[in-house]
Amino acid sequence: GSVQLNDIPVWTPTSGLSEQARYQRNEKLDRKISLYSGDITKLEVDAIVNAANKTLLGGGGVDGAIHRAAGPMLKKECASLCGCETGEAKITCGYGLPAKYVIHTVGPIAQGGVGEEERRALRSCYKNSLQTATEKAARSVAFPCISTGIYGYPPEQAVHEALATVREYLDAHHDKLDRVIFCVFLPADKKLYLQNLPLYFPAE
Ligand code: ADP
């Protein structure tokens, strides 16, 4: 079965970490963040984000899982989009998925190490995905840990780009989104998000 938005717990920060926090509390963002552990293809939200490759024709990892769950119509629509550049995002229907839309974004390949270019591209993925969601009036969006699988971006660095970019987007557009869900698949990623969420979404 699928997991409905109402069944995805809201993440609420614990107090006492204000000295390490990188941002001030924004009470308008209360109850807009979730950390979900599991398969993104099960989420019945407005949009799930796919960590795709430039061809948009499917691949391994989360991309393969999304295409398998959505069915062949997804690949057909993707084939009409003429690919996608690194850092950009394109939207399709969800077909057999419980999610209404899939937002396909292409993360940077970081196997040669992370420099300013990779860092900016990863931030663009999160920002352009959120912008694409709001253009379609999608109010709940779930992200996988973009680039941290096959593309080799160190997860302990990627988490900061993910959280900072979502925080900054929500500061400016909190009225456009009800929930942003960080969907982690690996226990190590869950730990990283639990450690770092309070720095970007502090309680005080
Ligand atoms: P990339 O090529 O951008 O690195 P990957 O799919 O290889 O993309 O990995 C991105 C992240 O997606 C990894 O953390 C991986 O563990 C995770 N992942 C793999 N399958 C799923 C899934 N079904 N749901 C959510 N996350 C997934």
List the one residue out of 79, 74, 76 whose CA is nearest residue 93: 74
Per-residue confidence band for 19, with pLDDT thresholds at 50, 70 and 90: confident
Residue from 3, 37, 62 to probe ligand 1 pocket by mutation (most atoms less than 8 Å from CB): 62
185 lines ligand 1 (CB under 6 A): yes
> 155-173 vs 116-135: helix axis angle to the nearest 10?
40
Specify whether the backbone of 100 is left (phi greater than 0), alpha (psi in -120 to 50) or beta.
Answer: alpha
Residues of the chain with pLDDT > 70: what percent? Answer: 100
| Measured CA distances, 183 to 35, 82, 83, 121, 162 (Å) | 6, 27, 24, 20, 12
Residue pLDDT, tens place only, 155-195: 999 999 999 999 999 999 999 999 999 999 999 999 999 99
pLDDT above 80 (res 58): yes
Instruction: Round the average pLDDT of the chain to a whole number and report it.
Output: 96
End-to-end CA distance of the chain: 37
Which amino acid, one-letter code, is at 147? S
Higher pLDDT, 37 or 13: 37
41 lines ligand 1 (CB under 6 A): yes
Q: Give the C-alpha separation, 80 to 82, whole Å.
A: 6
CA of 198 to the centre of ligand 1 (A): 23
Q: Which atom, in ligand 1's list, is nearest to the CA of 155?
A: 14
Residue pLDDT, tens place only, 67-89: 999 999 999 999 999 999 999 99
Whole-complex ipTM: 0.99
Q: Give the C-alpha separation, 87 to 138, whole Å.
A: 20
Q: Give the C-alpha separation, 17 to 203, whole Å.
A: 8
Residue listed under structure tokens 């690949």:
75
141 lines ligand 1 (CB under 6 A): no
39 lines ligand 1 (CB under 6 A): yes
Q: At residue 200, what are phi and psi to the nearest 5 degrees? A: -105, -25
Q: At residue 16, what are phi and psi to the nearest 5 degrees? A: 105, 0
106 lines ligand 1 (CB under 6 A): no
148 lines ligand 1 (CB under 6 A): yes
63 lines ligand 1 (CB under 6 A): yes
List the one residue out of 121, 63, 61 whose CA is nearest residue 92: 63
Q: Give the C-alpha separation, 145 to 152, whole Å.
A: 11
Q: Which atom, in ligand 1's list, is nearest to the CA of 51?
A: 3
**Considering all CA atoms of the chain, what is the largest pairwise distance in Å, rounded to the nearest integer?**
50
189 lines ligand 1 (CB under 6 A): yes
Q: Give the C-alpha separation, 57 to 14, whole Å.
A: 42
Question: In 10 A of CB 162, how many CB atoms?
Answer: 27
List the beta bridge partners of residue 90: 104
* The model scores a pTM over 0.90: yes
